[in-house]
Structure 1
Amino acid sequence: MNIINKLTLRHLMKNKKQTLVTIIGVIISVAMVTAVITLGSSFMVLMQKETIKEYGNWHVLYKDVNKDQLEAIKQDTATKQLITSKERGHALLPGSQSVNKPYLFIKAYNLQGFTNFPIELSKGRLPERPDEIVLSEEIATRAKVDFRIGDQLTLHVGQRFFQGAPSDTKVSHNEPLQFWDGKRAESLIHTTIETYTVVGFIKRPVWEQPMAPGYTALTYVDENLIGTNQTVDASVVVNDIDSTVFAHANDLAQKNNISSVKTNDSLLRYYGEMSGGLGETYNSLFLIVFFVIVVGSVSLIYNAFAISVSERSRHLGMLSSVGATRRQKRNSVFFEGAVIGVISIPLGIICGILGIGITFHFINPILEDAMGVTEKLTLVVTPLSLAIACLVSIITIFISTYLPAQRASKISAIDAIRQTMDIRLTNKTVKTSKLIKRFFGIEAEIGLKNLKRNKRRYYATVFSLVISIVLFLSVSFFTSGLQKTFELSQKGYNYDIGVYENDEETTLDEHLVKSIISLEGVTEFNLLERMDGNFVWLAEEAISEDVKPYLYRENDLYKYRIHVTTMQEEKLRVYAEEVGVAYAKLTNPDHPSAILIDTMTFKDEKGKFIETRGINGKVGDMLDLVSTDDKKETVNQVELVSVTDRFPKGLVPSPFEVILVVSEPVFDQLMKKSVFVSAYSGLYLKSKDPLKTHQDIEEMSQDVSVMNLFQDRQRSERKMLFLSVFVYGFVALITAVSMANIFNTISTSIALRKREFAMLRSVGMTPKSFHKMINYESIFYGMKALAYGIPISLVIMVLIYRSFTYSFSYDFELPWASILYVITAVFVIVSLSMYYASIKVKKANIIEALKQENL
């Protein structure tokens, strides 16, 4: 080691506090980058596991392929695993006592399919031949049919069709039983007789909807027995998951005349691969957020070095006075950065990983208790994340050391030792407004002059504050946008079970409703009655631009469907209070009034999710509800007493339809005065055990249809919970880093001003005046930082919003709560940081502080 490097090490050891502050700054920066990347990769792996558990492990699905096409898929270089499957169809379940679930739904897989799809064997074994079958264990509990391993089943297997419909309109296996006029209106056609041997039982697969009319039964598909005219579905696990997976699948389908190809977008997006507008959205978002985080990281490390430029310049000036060359001085600073980097980077990586690991340790029990989540957040550390953290830190340390080294190497030894390049004062430089002194006193003027005189430290501190503000607001806006887009892409059910009469134009029996809501397990309910058949004619200016292309237009007016709903009095009172309207305003049938739910979501023809208002209604507006048949037209006027986006239990956003909530007296009056309208009711429940409640309702009455949506709702809530963990973890991390950045920068800046404060105290500044001066400096710091930080943050927010609009359309809203939080937090944190540092400065002996040259 040469003499320059030895002196550099000695300098670092002599200035232990400054060296420690710099090391801490670098550790925080590296920990932030490591933690953010680790949090992101861990979240993605968790979502991969959850998606595979729900939908199976496959990437591309080729529908209805023949034997030759299947062989081409198998020989394709991208194919890693091949799963063949076939929906055999439905068959009536012999002896079933379940009226609303009378079928077996039979699906066949090869051995790879039994491995890659979420199939859980509870007893026996899986099929190994086409004449073997496993049955859902729910058949015994719900259908009351007791099968045993070894039993022979002879079934008439066919396809479900709506009775009287054209032959090409097949009913999906997850759709509930079809009824018309209170009678079952579907049948099985194209049936074949098939015989199976029961070899085992499985738990109900997650893909089987509770309202589906068929119990799942699985058999085996033998690829060698596929005939020339027979087809199967081929699901592929690809070798390498990258952006070419979509184009390659389409090319393979085109070359082999495969008519239908589908990618598992639900899974691929969690590998970072998305097609179309969604890919553009998240790629641009990733670049923006990554840029903000990298700039934040750079500022942390740079400030840790830049705040002590004066001390390094004095040291370099001493080296220059004894003959050190420019190159040696630069190398000295680079060596200092390398030493700090060697110490800080490994510690920063370890701290980042440990921090996220400890967070996951405490979060996993909460996830398990809240949602019964079986998949846990596991710490995922990739070589790429470590490499990125190291690379960003090394580049930043190089930049942070290069700039002061270049500046110090160009000045003379005398100037460097005197540090005259840091303080070049003119009257203009420290000039302040007379109003400052008049309104705020001499302390405010001295504080402002201090900042002007020490511009480098002042700018470094303000820059640190600005970066912290931008980091927090940008990440907060990004994460709230992420939650918003997730909500738009989900169905948003707010109930578990819906109960309806089989005849859609009748209402539920009152006695039956009381019996259902008294069932054990039912926690919440809402009985809604709905009127269909009303519409309004609206002028162009009253219609959202997003909706106009989908509406019928006549004579410059747009026709808009109106869905009128009522609920029981006690429920409506609670809902009216939630939306801020007095219940009494809704009860006058002679002057009908309503609550307008004017929010809808839909997916346009390009696959873009749209959230918009429907008719731009305002409180006090009168709506003309029109109902008509061939002979007569009626018009009923309804006044809007509230406009909201809150949905009562049982209602969800519906595309191109406006919802009016009215009281029961108003509903009855509108029914009497309208023609060609129909009314029916639905009971919407939340339950502790939705499957048992579903079964109890079916056993209670055979005249109702039960729609069990708890699986969809639970899946959405679980994903929202995972996303919330990621979102709030991300925001909490950025908040902690920002606070540490501010505290570190200001504390160091104040500590370097010991001599300055000692001089003020030596000429008679009292402790009270000193406190006032520090407080005013805190205000100046905060105002300057907010003046730059908020506008820059707004620009980044607009860029993030524009990125989201590639795939989602919703109104831009400023995060006022986050902005107010930032304004408050900046002044509080700055004040506390300066107060803490100034206490330590005040305790120093004036004489010793005036003599001190180093920390």
Structure 2
Amino acid sequence: MNIFARYAARTMKKNHTRTRITWIGMILSMALFTAVIEGAFSCVQWLKNSVREQDGSFEAVYHAQDPDSAKMVADDKEVREALMMQINGWAKIPSANDYKPYLLIESGDLNSSLLKVKLTSGHLPENENEIILPENMKSYMADPYDIGESLTVDVGTRTGNGKVMSDLDILDYGKEEIVDAAAKTYTVTGYYERLSTEAESLSCPGFTVFTKGGDAIGVNVYVTLKNIRHLKSFMQRVPDESMLRLHSDLTRFDEPALGGVSDGLLAVIRGLAAILLALVMVGSVSLIYNAFTISVSERQKEYGLLKSIGASRGQIRSTVLFEALMTGVAGIIPGIAVGLLGTGITLHLMSGTLTALRSGSTAPLHLIISWKGLLLASAICMATVLTAAWIPAHRAIRATPMDAIRQKDDIRIRKKSLRTPRYIKKLFGLEGVLTSRNFQRSRKRFRTTILSLSVSVVLFVSASSFSLYLHKIMQLEYSTNPYDIMVQMVSNSPVIDASSVNEVYDSMKSCGDVTSGMYYSAASPYQLLIDPSLLTAEALQLTDSKGSLIPLHSSQFIFVDDDSFRQMLRDNGLTETEYFHTDQPLGLFYNTELAVNEDGKTKEIQVVRSSRDFTVYNRAIRQMEGMIYGGSDTINGEEYILYYDDDYIQSMQEEGKSLDPVRAKKILADQVQILIPFRIGAVISSSEIYESIGYRTSGIIYPMSMLDAVAQMNQADSQYASSNNVWMQFAAKDHASTAKIMTDAANEMSSSLTVTDMTASKQQEESFVFMISALSYAFITLIALIATANIFNTISTNLQLRRKEFAMLRSVGMTMKSFRKMLYEECLLYGLRSLIISIPVSVLVTYGIYLSVRNKLDFGFILPWKAILIAVIAIFASVGAAMLYGGRKLAKENLVEALRNENA
């Protein structure tokens, strides 16, 4: 250690109070850097582990048609582990699911970690005559197989149009057959939880079943790579890249490294980490910069003396930077320990809540240490320290030896500066005048303190704003629904049977402890037209159409059960007289719509201006005998309707070819369109019943008893599509037990019923909001600690630098009362001046956060008034505490020793 390093070390030891506070600030900064980086890394690893637990650890699956290509993929140099699942064949079965008329029989290691096969009952097959079936298969079998029951099928190769088809090939109706089939009898030994769509392609037309051993007609190779970053080169080496599917739920975490774009979840995690790191860096730079600015100012005379005896500019700079380096090194190890401890405790406390967010996963959330992350955090911390100390170091070498000895740059007095406003003396007396003139003649020291206070306020308000807007996004993203359970009923016929719906609804409503319920369906007309004079300016901006009637931006017919419709009428002060006339029923127009602006952001608008009754028209397309509607085309500015011959369409569908517009018969739209009027009885802008459905568009609402009447009115519309789905919603005291009872009842009644526990999903959303809140406020607390250390360090050190000045005032008769009054006035001055700067800057930063986090949701700018108020109170409290601490120390000092001090 050279003499200048020893000098820096001795100075740090001498000024132990400032050194200690700076060191504590460094520990907090390093702890936050560590917490942000390691916390983000642990969360990403937890998400990966959750996916691996549910689906398996495979990163890609190759659907090989022959053993050679399968072996080539499994033996690739980049493959760390491979699982080869043999495809034994396909078998036709009677299934209520038209999209899955087959069994896809596979065999292989069912205990491998690469592919998760989770038994729900029974045991795994032990030979090629035993088989396990997926749970979802039960819903589509008229008489599901029991464990121990025999299953006999003809197993063969699935072909279509003369080629062998894989499980990636979608079902081709009427063109497929099973060839080389042989009868095979299996014993059902168990059921397993359906594979995820990452393992079993969504387009696979068969239920995947597993056996053990047997002959293979193909192989599915599940692989995990040595380094996911080499995935692209691996993909280029596989025999047929079209037969390779990535495990997107797992590989999405590495998409930036693969040259892709992060999905929403990863973008949130990385964006959150970036914002937090930026805020911590600003706070740390401010803390270190202020500490070294004051340190350099305090020792300016010493630096001048060193220069006068030959110290070079580089030696002076290295002295300051060495002090910064020592502070950083001393803070890194304790900071890492504090950061890891805090992150570990936080993740442990949040583990139960977060695990609940991952349905079907029990992977625990705990701290996973990344040594690369720790090195990155250390590097960022050291870069922050050296950057913050560079400017004070440059200031130390800039002054000439004589100017430094005289401390010329620290105190500059100009005639204009010494003018003190009269109101200062009138309000605060002599103490106020002294405070004002101290500020004017030593602006640099005061400016540093005020800047430090301002940065602290901006940091706190920014962190609070981020949390505030995150909550706002969560509120807008997750709509509120008063119901707990949804039952979806899919009708086998194109027309809903009202009696069947009522029977199912009554049966479901009697389950468990249901307190209320409703049900609804929907229908889509070809195109609804409206008089443009009825639309609001915002709605008109969504369309470029002109004319006496223009299309509504989006609208459909919604049918709710009669009791719920009557409740909607009562809620809006309407009578039901004309709404139940089957000859010409009136509809309710729901007027609120979440529309997309030109900039891609969504905004809630009102569609029509009138609350009176009016008429909308369904622009129906007339049916042509022997012809089928095939869309429209615009030729020379005119709209034409395309009709195709029925036989031509059938032949194209059989050959799997697209329709050729040249073969279409083109008729002017005006010649084949029909305007079907629909009267609107009233306009409503809010309805708990309608909003519970989840539609965010305008709509025309009818009672369910009017469904047939509305369909009859639309019989001329060849494109009118009435949904064969009915959705039932129920509120229950105990949603979990009631949903289970409903599920059992639904399985007994029909395979067309699906029960969903919506409240369980809502609780996951609420848990996510709670997690974000906890993490946000934990971060805000740490930011507040850094800011407090910053303020305390700056104020107390500044007071120590002025102890000679205070001693002189006391030596000429200033009482302790006047001394304290002067300190209080300085406290007021610090607070007011810092708030004048920080509040406008905080508003600007808040607005920037508002613009960045609102994404595509359009909502108004919100100021975090509570955070600003807390910051104002905290500023005066912190400054007052620092002043009180520094003032007490000064009051105890020996006047003679203080007057001999050369640093002020």
Category of TM-score, reference length = shorter chain: 0.7 to 0.9
CA contact (8 A) 1:22 1:305 kept: no
Distance in 1 (alpha carbons) for counterparts of 2:213 and 2:403 = 86
CA contact (8 A) 1:89 1:159 kept: yes
Q: Please state how far the C-alpha of 1:556 moved relative to its aligned partner.
A: 6.5
Distance in 2 (alpha carbons) for counterparts of 1:661 and 1:440 = 70
Give the SS at the match of 1:259: helix
Aligned in 2, Cα 1:429/1:511: closer, same or farther, shift over 3 Å?
A: farther
Asked if residue 692 in structure 1 is aligned to residue 680 in structure 2, the reply is no
Q: Please state how far the C-alpha of 1:404 moved relative to its aligned partner.
A: 2.4
Asked if residue 349 in structure 1 is aligned to residue 312 in structure 2, the reply is no
Distance in 2 (alpha carbons) for counterparts of 1:10 and 1:439 = 45
Aligned in 2, Cα 1:241/1:734: closer, same or farther, shift over 3 Å?
A: same
Give the SS at the match of 1:115: coil
Which of 826, 832, 836 is residue 783 of structure 1 equivalent to? Answer: 836
Moved more, 448-457 or 670-679: 670-679
Which of 253, 257, 266 is residue 270 of structure 1 equivalent to? Answer: 253
CA contact (8 A) 1:625 1:638 kept: no
Q: Please state how far the C-alpha of 1:746 moved relative to its aligned partner.
A: 1.8
**Residue type at the aligned position of 2:26:** V
Aligned in 2, Cα 1:544/1:266: closer, same or farther, shift over 3 Å?
A: farther
Specify the alignment match of 2:496 in structure 1. Answer: 505
Q: Please state how far the C-alpha of 1:66 moved relative to its aligned partner.
A: 4.2
Specify the alignment match of 1:584 in structure 2. Answer: 573
Distance in 1 (alpha carbons) for counterparts of 2:745 and 2:705 = 31
CA contact (8 A) 2:486 2:727 kept: no
Aligned in 2, Cα 1:267/1:699: closer, same or farther, shift over 3 Å?
A: closer
Aligned in 2, Cα 1:667/1:534: closer, same or farther, shift over 3 Å?
A: farther
Distance in 2 (alpha carbons) for counterparts of 1:277 and 1:482 = 22
CA contact (8 A) 2:293 2:392 kept: yes
**Residue type at the aligned position of 1:505:** I
Asked if residue 389 in structure 1 is aligned to residue 377 in structure 2, the reply is yes
Specify the alignment match of 2:190 in structure 1. Answer: 201
Q: Please state how far the C-alpha of 1:638 moved relative to its aligned partner.
A: 5.2
Asked if residue 834 in structure 1 is aligned to residue 879 in structure 2, the reply is yes
Deviations 1:290-331 (A, max 9, x none): 555544443343334334432343554565577655444333
CA contact (8 A) 2:595 2:602 kept: yes
Specify the alignment match of 1:406 in structure 2. Answer: 394
Distance in 1 (alpha carbons) for counterparts of 2:474 and 2:888 = 54
Distance in 1 (alpha carbons) for counterparts of 2:108 and 2:122 = 18
Which of 767, 785, 794 is residue 749 of structure 1 equivalent to? Answer: 794
Moved more, 749-758 or 586-595: 586-595
Distance in 1 (alpha carbons) for counterparts of 2:892 and 2:282 = 41
Specify the alignment match of 1:57 in structure 2. Answer: 57
Aligned in 2, Cα 1:332/1:826: closer, same or farther, shift over 3 Å?
A: same
Specify the alignment match of 2:659 in structure 1. Answer: none
Q: Please state how far the C-alpha of 1:600 moved relative to its aligned partner.
A: 6.7
Specify the alignment match of 2:131 in structure 1. Answer: 133
Asked if residue 706 in structure 1 is aligned to residue 753 in structure 2, the reply is yes
Distance in 2 (alpha carbons) for counterparts of 1:440 and 1:666 = 80
Unmatched runs of 5 consecutive residues or more in structure 1: 176-184
Aligned in 2, Cα 1:585/1:152: closer, same or farther, shift over 3 Å?
A: closer
CA contact (8 A) 1:466 1:789 kept: no
Which of 672, 680, 685 is residue 637 of structure 1 equivalent to? Answer: 680
Aligned in 2, Cα 1:276/1:338: closer, same or farther, shift over 3 Å?
A: closer
Specify the alignment match of 1:377 in structure 2. Answer: 365
Distance in 1 (alpha carbons) for counterparts of 2:480 and 2:78 = 37
Aligned in 2, Cα 1:439/1:706: closer, same or farther, shift over 3 Å?
A: farther
Number of residue-to-residue matches in the alignment: 800
Which of 528, 534, 552 is residue 536 of structure 1 equivalent to? Answer: 528
Specify the alignment match of 1:218 in structure 2. Answer: 210
Deviations 1:785-841 (A, max 9, x none): 12234335545664x46xx9xxxx614546515x43442232122122112222324
Distance in 2 (alpha carbons) for counterparts of 1:707 and 1:780 = 64
CA contact (8 A) 1:35 1:353 kept: yes
Distance in 2 (alpha carbons) for counterparts of 1:160 and 1:558 = 47
The percentage of aligned residue pairs carrying the same residue is: 20
Give the TM-score taking structure 1 as reference length.
Answer: 0.76
Distance in 2 (alpha carbons) for counterparts of 1:425 and 1:303 = 23
Distance in 2 (alpha carbons) for counterparts of 1:232 and 1:489 = 43
CA contact (8 A) 2:235 2:241 kept: no
Specify the alignment match of 1:599 in structure 2. Answer: 594
Which of 393, 409, 414 is residue 426 of structure 1 equivalent to? Answer: 414
Q: How does 1:287-306 map to 2 (within 5 A)?
A: 290-291=277-278, 293-306=280-293
Aligned in 2, Cα 1:651/1:560: closer, same or farther, shift over 3 Å?
A: closer
Q: How does 1:685-834 map to 2 (within 5 A)?
A: 685=730, 687-689=735-737, 692-698=740-746, 701-702=749-750, 705-710=752-757, 718=764, 724=769, 727-754=772-799, 755=803, 762=814, 765=818, 771=824, 774-792=827-845, 794-795=847-848, 798=851, 800=852, 810-813=856-859, 816-817=862-863, 819-834=864-879
- RMSD over equivalenced CA pairs, Å: 5.5
CA contact (8 A) 2:31 2:338 kept: yes
Which of 713, 724, 727 is residue 682 of structure 1 equivalent to? Answer: 727
Q: Please state how far the C-alpha of 1:391 moved relative to its aligned partner.
A: 1.1
Distance in 1 (alpha carbons) for counterparts of 2:771 and 2:389 = 35
Q: Please state how far the C-alpha of 1:636 moved relative to its aligned partner.
A: 1.5
**Residue type at the aligned position of 1:598:** E
CA contact (8 A) 2:454 2:835 kept: no
Which of 544, 553, 560 is residue 566 of structure 1 equivalent to? Answer: 560
Distance in 1 (alpha carbons) for counterparts of 2:157 and 2:299 = 82
Give the SS at the match of 1:739: helix
Distance in 2 (alpha carbons) for counterparts of 1:568 and 1:392 = 64
Asked if residue 154 in structure 1 is aligned to residue 152 in structure 2, the reply is yes
Q: Please state how far the C-alpha of 1:30 moved relative to its aligned partner.
A: 0.8
CA contact (8 A) 1:531 1:563 kept: yes
Distance in 1 (alpha carbons) for counterparts of 2:704 and 2:748 = 31
Distance in 1 (alpha carbons) for counterparts of 2:427 and 2:558 = 62
CA contact (8 A) 1:599 1:614 kept: yes
Q: Please state how far the C-alpha of 1:353 moved relative to its aligned partner.
A: 0.6
Q: Please state how far the C-alpha of 1:420 moved relative to its aligned partner.
A: 3.6
Give the SS at the match of 1:528: strand
Q: Please state how far the C-alpha of 1:844 moved relative to its aligned partner.
A: 4.4
Aligned in 2, Cα 1:621/1:473: closer, same or farther, shift over 3 Å?
A: farther
Unmatched runs of 5 consecutive residues or more in structure 2: 580-585, 623-673
Asked if residue 612 in structure 1 is aligned to residue 602 in structure 2, the reply is yes
Q: Please state how far the C-alpha of 1:37 moved relative to its aligned partner.
A: 0.2
Specify the alignment match of 1:180 in structure 2. Answer: none
Which of 242, 245, 250 is residue 259 of structure 1 equivalent to? Answer: 242
Distance in 2 (alpha carbons) for counterparts of 1:128 and 1:666 = 56
Specify the alignment match of 1:182 in structure 2. Answer: none
Q: Please state how far the C-alpha of 1:744 moved relative to its aligned partner.
A: 1.6
Asked if residue 361 in structure 1 is aligned to residue 318 in structure 2, the reply is no
Give the TM-score taking structure 2 as reference length.
Answer: 0.72
Moved more, 636-645 or 265-274: 636-645
Q: Please state how far the C-alpha of 1:498 moved relative to its aligned partner.
A: 2.0
**Residue type at the aligned position of 1:395:** A
Aligned in 2, Cα 1:593/1:544: closer, same or farther, shift over 3 Å?
A: closer
CA contact (8 A) 1:303 1:460 kept: yes
Distance in 1 (alpha carbons) for counterparts of 2:553 and 2:251 = 40
Q: Please state how far the C-alpha of 1:379 moved relative to its aligned partner.
A: 0.3
Q: Please state how far the C-alpha of 1:778 moved relative to its aligned partner.
A: 1.2
